[in-house]
Amino acid sequence: MTATATPTIGCTGLRVSTTGGREVLHGVDYAVAPGEILALVGESGSGKTTAALAALGHFRTGLAHTGGTMAFHGHTETHDDLLTLDPVTLRGVRGRLVSYVPQDPALSLNPLLRVGTQVAEVLEAHSWDGDVTGRVREVLAEVGLPDDDAFLARYPHQLSGGQQQRVGIAAAFANRPDVVVLDEPTTGLDVTTQDLVLDTVRELVTRSGTAALYITHDLAVVAGLADRVAVMQSGEVVETGPVARVLTAPEHPYTRGLIAAVPDLDRRVERAPVPSGDAAGEPVLRVSGAGKRFGATTVLDGVDLELWPGECLMLLGESGSGKTTLARGLSGLLPLDSGTLTLKGEELATPRSHAQLRSVQYVFQSPFASLNPRRTLAGSLEVPLRHLTDADAGTRRARVLDMLRQVRLDESFAARYPGSLSGGERQRAAIARALVTAPDVLVCDEVTSALDVSVQAAILDLLALVRRELGTAMVFVTHNIALAREVADRIAVLQGGRIVEQGTVEEVLSNPANDYTRELLAHTPSMAAVR
C-alpha cells in the first residue's frame, strides 16, 4: 500500500483467544487500500484465516476477540471498529460492504436453488436499489459466465468446479462491496481453471476498486496475483511488504523456508535414486485399451499405460480429463468397461482376489476417505490386515506400529483419532494405511492438493522415501504439473479420456509435443511471475 493511500480496511493490534484462554493471534496488524490485493500467507495453523475473517467481524466457534480494532472506510459508510458493531448492524454490513468467497463453492451454493436465484438472494437480502435480475446478469458476465436464461436456470451440480467458484465470486461482488475476503478460492482447481478464476479476481478488484484479502498457502499464486503479502507464523505477522520484495529478497527465516518449499517448473531438483525395474523387461502394472463410460459420456477411451517397479508415473490433466477414473480403475475401486489390466504379468480379476487387493492400494485426496473418524489410527491401519491377510493379532499390531514409524509418526499416534491430527499428519496416516499391506503399487490421488507448501514438501519427501526403502511403484494423480520434478520419473497427460502425450519428466517439460500440454505449462503459476 502506498504511503498516501487511505486503507479501506485497517486491522490494528488484533488479538484472538480460544474460549479456554489460549491466545491464537498476538496483536496482528494489516491494512488494504482500494483496488489492492493483500495476500495473507502461512502454514496451516498460522492464523491467516482467523485474521482475515475478522474483517467480516466473524470468529469461528471456540474463538473470541480479546483485543484490537478493525477500522472500515468505505464509499458510503465508515465504522471506526467493525468488531464492536451489534449483530443486526453487522448482518447488514456482511454481503453488502464486506463479502466472502469460501474455498469450497459447495459452502456458498445451495444445491437446491438455481444459480440465478442464489445470486439474486444476495441482492434482495440487502435491498438492492435497482433491477435485481439485470444486476444478476451483469455480474455473471463480469466473471466470464453466460448471462442468459438457460444459465440462470441451472443448478450447481450442472456446473463445473470452475463455474461454481465463479458463481460464488459473482455473489460476493454482486453488491459492489468495498472489501472482499477470498479464502483459498482456487485450491483443488486445475491450472487452466485456476488461471481463469485468478484473472477474474484481479479484473474485478481493479475495476471496482475493492480492497481484497486473499488467504492462501500457494506462493506461486501470490507471485502473479497480489500487490502485497503478509506472512503469518504462529499467530503473528513476521514479514510484510510488496510481493516483489518479499518473494525475491525475504528477510525472515520463516519466509525463506516457505519459498524454498514451493515447487517450481523452472527449478531443477536433485533427487536420490530409487530402485527401478526398467531393465528387467516386465512392468509391474500394464493397462491395455482401458475404457469407461457413464451413461452417454465416454470418460476413458482406449488408454494404454505401463508402470515399472520403483517408478513414479504422474497422471496429469484438467478436471474431467479422466485421470481419477483411470486411477480408480487401476486400483479396483471402479470396474472398467473394456481393456485389460495385468499385475506382474497376471491379469487382474473382477472382483480381485485378496492378494491382488493387497498389491494395489489407493491414497485418497481427503484422508477422511480412508480413515474412520471413530477409529484410532491403529484401528484404521489394522482393518486391511484383518481382511486381506491371515496375520494374527500380535503380528498385526507390530506391523501397524512399524508402518506408523515408516511415515514418521511415533507410537503415541496409534491411540489417536483422525480429528486430533493436523492435515499433514492425517495424510501421513492415510499413506501408512495404504502401505500396511506392503503393496507393489501405490495410487496417490491429489494427495497434496489441500496442503500448505511445507507440509506438501514433507509428504513428497515421505513418498520418495517409501520408493527408496520399499521399492513401491507409484501412480501420482494431479493437476499440478509444477510437482513433476519433485516426485515423478515419467508423465502421462490425459485429455478427454485419452493419453495425448507421455514421456520422461524432462522430455515433457522441456519439449512438449502436444498443444494441450503446452497450454497446461503456460497456465501453471510460477514464482518467476512476480507482480
CATH classification of the domain holding 397: 3.40.50.300
- HEC sequence for 74-111: CCCCEECCHHHCCHHHHHHHECCCEEEECCCHHHCCCC
Q: Give the end of a domain, one of 216, 231, 260.
A: 260
One-letter amino acid identity for 517? T
Do 286 and 204 belong together in one domain?
A: no
Pairing between β-strand 498-504 and β-strand 98-101 as defined by DSSP bridges: unpaired
**By residue range, what is the domain housing residue 351?**
278-523
Do 101 and 235 belong together in one domain?
A: yes
Residue 529 belongs to some domain of the structure: no
Question: Which of 380, 501, 508, 369 has the alpha carbon at shortest distance from 435?
Answer: 380
Query: In angstroms, rounded to a whole number, what is the distance separating the alpha carbons of residues 146 and 116?
Result: 11
Do 240 and 289 belong together in one domain?
A: no
- H or E element that contains 376: none
10-residue averages of pLDDT along the chain (531 residues): 74 95 96 96 89 94 95 92 94 94 80 96 94 96 92 91 88 95 84 87 93 91 94 96 95 93 74 55 91 93 94 91 93 93 90 90 86 94 93 95 90 92 86 93 88 83 86 91 90 96 94 94 82 62
Query: In angstroms, rounded to a whole number, what is the distance separating the alpha carbons of residues 90 and 81?
Result: 11
Q: Give the end of a domain, one of 260, 291, 315.
A: 260
pLDDT score of 237 = 97
Do 253 and 302 belong together in one domain?
A: no
DSSP code, position 279:
G
Do 255 and 337 belong together in one domain?
A: no
pLDDT score of 279 = 45
- H or E element that contains 141: helix 132-142
Using a 10 angstrom Cβ sphere, with 0-12 exposed, 13-18 middle and 19 or more buried, the burial of residue 241 is middle
Residue 272 belongs to some domain of the structure: no
55-61: Cβ within 8 A, 24+ apart: 55/9, 55/11, 55/82, 55/98, 55/179, 55/181, 55/213, 56/82, 56/94, 56/98, 56/100, 56/181, 57/82, 57/83, 57/85, 57/90, 57/93, 57/94, 57/98, 58/94, 59/16
Do 453 and 488 belong together in one domain?
A: yes
Question: Which of 453, 517, 512, 520 has the alpha carbon at shortest distance from 193?
Answer: 520
Query: In angstroms, rounded to a whole number, what is the distance separating the alpha carbons of residues 75 and 34?
Result: 10
Cβ atoms of residues 211 and 36 within 8 Å: yes
Query: In angstroms, rounded to a whole number, what is the distance separating the alpha carbons of residues 173 and 186?
Result: 17
Do 188 and 285 belong together in one domain?
A: no
Residue 214 belongs to some domain of the structure: yes
Question: Which of 302, 254, 311 has the alpha carbon at shortest distance from 277?
Answer: 311
Length of the chain in residues, anyone? 531
Total tally of structural domains belonging to the chain: 2
One-letter amino acid identity for 334? L
337-341: Cβ within 8 A, 24+ apart: 337/291, 337/292, 337/293, 338/289, 338/290, 338/291, 338/292, 339/287, 339/288, 339/289, 339/290, 339/291, 339/302, 339/303, 340/286, 340/287, 340/288, 340/289, 341/285, 341/286, 341/287, 341/288, 341/290
Residue 287 belongs to some domain of the structure: yes
Cβ atoms of residues 531 and 224 within 8 Å: yes
Query: In angstroms, rounded to a whole number, what is the distance separating the alpha carbons of residues 455 and 445?
Result: 16
Give the CA diameter of the chain: 73
Buried b (16+ CB within 10 A) or exposed e, 143-164: bbbebeeebbeeebeebebbbb
Query: In angstroms, rounded to a whole number, what is the distance separating the alpha carbons of residues 304 and 109?
Result: 38
Residue 2 belongs to some domain of the structure: no
Q: Where are the alpha helices (DSSP H) in 263-366?
A: 323-331, 354-359
523: left (phi over 0), alpha (psi -120 to 50) or beta: alpha
Q: Where are the alpha helices (DSSP H) in 443-514?
A: 453-470, 484-487, 505-510
Cα dihedral: 71, 74, 77, 78 (round 10): 20
**pTM of the entire predicted model:** 0.81
Do 283 and 236 belong together in one domain?
A: no
pLDDT score of 288 = 96
Do 165 and 198 belong together in one domain?
A: yes
Cis peptide before 367 (omega within 30 of 0): no
Residue 67 belongs to some domain of the structure: yes
DSSP three-state, residue 481: helix
Do 243 and 301 belong together in one domain?
A: no
Residue 271 belongs to some domain of the structure: no
Q: Give the end of a domain, one of 227, 260, 293.
A: 260
Do 299 and 254 belong together in one domain?
A: no
Do 18 and 129 belong together in one domain?
A: yes
One-letter amino acid identity for 382? E
Residue 496 belongs to some domain of the structure: yes
Question: Which of 446, 436, 521, 433 has the alpha carbon at shortest distance from 476?
Answer: 446
pLDDT score of 191 = 84
The 10 Å Cβ neighbour count of residue 114 is 16
Query: In angstroms, rounded to a whole number, what is the distance separating the alpha carbons of residues 498 and 289?
Result: 10
What does residue 335 show for φ and ψ, rounded to 5 degrees?
A: -75, 135
